[in-house]
Amino acid sequence: MTLLFNVTTTINEFRGCKDVCIQWFMVDRDVPVGPYAELIEDYEHLDTEEKGWGLRQYAEDCVNELFTAEEADALLAYLDQHHPTDSTHYLSSAKLPIERGVVGVGALAVGGPTDFLMLSERDSWNLAFEVWGYYDLRQHEPAAGGELERSRAFRSGTLFASSNGIVRASDLTEEEYQKRVMDSGLDEVDETFTRQ
């Protein structure tokens, strides 16, 4: 069976939160990473059942987000060179075949406390493939002194609409934000479920 890998990074402090996990994934792989029938459980039956529509594409995309040994080594070398002190990088074998119904992180909706880090868009990127990272700040505690930055990260997915137009909550001062919340008639805004 083809061996594939997950690469993750834990960043000591990121967007006002501590010990944030970034799950790195391949983006726009041109050629399948391996034989799908070998890498995806029950592959030949996906999309043949009425309720299975779309499962094949999600499963293929999920597998193609994983790294070969060579890709993982190159990514780890890049991360060690460009992020040597503020984070710890991990390599683990992917559990294969993946189960039917699994969706890769690239298919997840993001906004507010969840987002993608587009690593391959940075000026320092020098690898022959594209990599992004997914993170979710909701599960992480604030870092010391990072409450305001964390709050802004959560607010980035919150919008307020009024007769004067739409305003992104992260663009408001703390006082303006609190006033908008009070004017909305809510005690607080549930930022977990807001969208950008």
Q: What is the pLDDT of residues 73-84, one digit of tens each?
A: 999 999 999 877
Task: Answer with the residue of higher pLDDT: 114 or 5.
Answer: 5
Do 88 and 122 share a domain, yes or no?
A: yes
Residues 170, 94 share a domain? no
Q: Which residue has the tokens 């599960």?
A: 139
Do residue 34 and residue 72 come from a single domain?
A: yes
What distance, in Å, lies between the first and last C-alpha atoms of the chain?
Answer: 41
Whether 23 is in a domain gets the answer yes
Together in a domain, 32 and 104? yes
150 within some domain = no
Q: Is the peptide bond before 97 cis (omega within 30 degrees of 0)?
A: yes
Q: What is the CA radius of gyration of the chain?
A: 20
Specify the pLDDT at position 179: 75
- Is 147 among the domain residues? no
Are both 165 and 97 inside the same structural domain?
A: no
Q: How confident is the model at residue 193 (pLDDT cuts 50, 70, 90)?
A: very low
- pLDDT category at 111 given cuts 50, 70, 90 is confident
Higher pLDDT among residues 46 and 18, named by residue: 18
As to burial, measured by CB atoms within 10 angstroms (0-12 exposed, 13-18 middle, 19+ buried), residue 122 is exposed
Residue 41 lies in a domain: yes
Region 155-181: what's the mean pLDDT? 70
Q: Is residue 21 part of a domain?
A: yes
42, 66 in Cβ contact below 8 A? no
Q: In this predicted model, which residue has the larger pLDDT, 147 or 42?
A: 42
Residue that has been written with the tokens 């299975």 in this structure: 52
130-140: average pLDDT: 92
- Number of domains the chain is built from: 2
- Is residue 144 in some structural domain? no
Check pLDDT > 80 for residue 158.
no
d(CA 148, CA 142): 9
Half-sphere exposure (Cβ direction) of 158: Cα atoms closer than 13 Å: 21
Report long-range pairs for 127-130 (Cβ below 8 Å, ≥24 apart).
127/74, 127/75, 127/78, 129/26, 129/29, 129/71, 130/26, 130/27, 130/28
Residue 190: the pLDDT is 46
29 and 125 in a single domain? The answer is yes
Query: Positive or negative CA dihedral for 71, 73, 75, 77?
Result: negative
Q: Is the pLDDT of residue 50 over 70?
A: no
Q: Which residue has the higher pLDDT, 107 or 154?
A: 107
Q: Same domain, yes or no, for 189 and 113? A: no
Q: Is residue 105 part of a domain?
A: yes
Average pLDDT over residues 5-10: 96
Q: What is the pLDDT of residue 184?
A: 66
Residue 77 lies in a domain: yes
One domain, residues 17 and 74: yes
Sign of CA dihedral 178, 181, 186, 189: negative
DSSP state of 169: G
Q: How would residue 194 be classed by pLDDT, with cut points 50, 70 and 90? A: very low
| Count of helix runs (H) and strand runs (E) in the chain | 5, 7
- Domain hosting residue 184, numbered range: 157-193
User: Do 132 and 163 fall within a single domain?
Assistant: no
Residue 130 and residue 77 share a domain: yes
